Amino acid sequence: MSSNKKPIKRIAFYGKGGIGKSTTSANLSAALSKQGLKVMQIGCDPKADSTMLLSRSKVPTVLNVIREKQDQIALSDFVIEGFNGVLCVEVGGPTPGVGCAGQGIIGAFGKMNELKAIETYQPDVVIYDVLGDVVCGGFAVPLRDGYAEDVYIISSGERMSLFAAYNISQAVHQFRNRGYAKLKGLIFNSKGGNNEEQRVLESLEEIGTKLAFTFPRDPIVQKCEKESITVIEGAPESELANKYRQLASILMR
């Protein structure tokens, strides 16, 4: 018997730490959920703060649950429902000072596969929010093995952010002939600096991608973050919320 269910859309957002990647991911998850889609957001950062604007608090990480419960683990131990039904997952990190965060991602993804997280929840969209300061084998996992199909880099016009964007693009291109994820573009998240947009535009050729979308600096982001909510929830009629909704629609094409 054939199924009419559409294939799962799998999107990975990479970028330098502190660039607004998690804020963007959470708002896009919220916007997609408001379009009637079932969304799962997986935070792949040892800080485990990717989903805080959706869950309003830190959720138990996969790695902590593994350490505490070992083999007695249920999906409900680390898959937490957040704003508008968005499924929130945080990979987490190793014990501080011990172990490798990249290896932790590999172990956490392995456990989610073992427990059949995607098959059980059957989301329409899976968003991977991945730290891009270091693109080692562990942090590159969402690029491989069928996890993500589309990759977007989030960057400001700051030099180190663009440097990270270049490194991320090189990692994606390493896998381009193997049927893995493809780099779809750079999302410019403005910090409001002088000539910032020009620096981004001048860097696109070297990075090897196109400009996919631009977010202007907007204080409404900080206002909503202080309340631990997304702009989609806290300021749904704002122009910025409209921009998140616009990009959410682009992602699903």
pLDDT along the chain (253 residues), means of 10: 74 94 97 98 94 95 93 95 98 79 88 96 97 78 85 96 94 76 96 91 96 97 97 98 98 94
- pLDDT score, position 179: 66
CA separation for the pair 165, 155 (Å, rounded): 7
CA separation for the pair 225, 204 (Å, rounded): 30
21 is catalytic: yes
Handedness of CA 193, 198, 201, 203 (dihedral sign): negative
- pLDDT score, position 2: 46
Please give the backbone phi and psi of residue 35, each rounded to the nearest 5 degrees, phi first.
Answer: -85, 5
- pLDDT score, position 4: 63
- pLDDT score, position 34: 98
CA separation for the pair 232, 236 (Å, rounded): 5
- Give CATH for domain 9-252: 3.40.50.300
Q: What is the DSSP string of 99-159?
A: S-HHHHHHHHHHHHHHTTHHHHH--SEEEEEEE-S---TTTTGGGSTTS-SEEEEEE-SSH
| Contacts of 142-147 spanning 24+ positions with Cβ under 8 A | 142/12, 142/44, 142/181, 143/12, 143/171, 143/172, 143/175, 143/180, 143/181, 144/175, 144/178, 144/180, 144/181, 145/180, 146/10, 146/180, 147/10, 147/12, 147/109, 147/181
- pLDDT score, position 180: 77
- Specify which residues 44 forms β-bridges with: 130
- pLDDT score, position 133: 77
Catalytic hit among 21, 34, 111, 243: 21
Q: What is the DSSP string of 34-80?
A: HTT--EEEEEESTT--TTHHHHSSPPPBHHHHHHHHTT---GGGT-E
Catalytic hit among 16, 34, 184, 243: 16
Please state, in angstroms and as integers, the Cα–Cα distance from residue 87 to each residue in 8, 30, 100, 146, 152, following that order: 14, 10, 26, 20, 21
Dihedral angle over CA of 217, 220, 223, 226, nearest 10: -70
47 is catalytic: yes
Q: What is the pTM of this model?
A: 0.94
- pLDDT score, position 177: 63
Bridge-based pairing state of the strands 87-90 and 80-81: antiparallel
The pair of structure tokens assigned to 88 is 């929130």
Catalytic hit among 45, 124, 129, 133: 133
Catalytic hit among 38, 47, 182, 223: 47
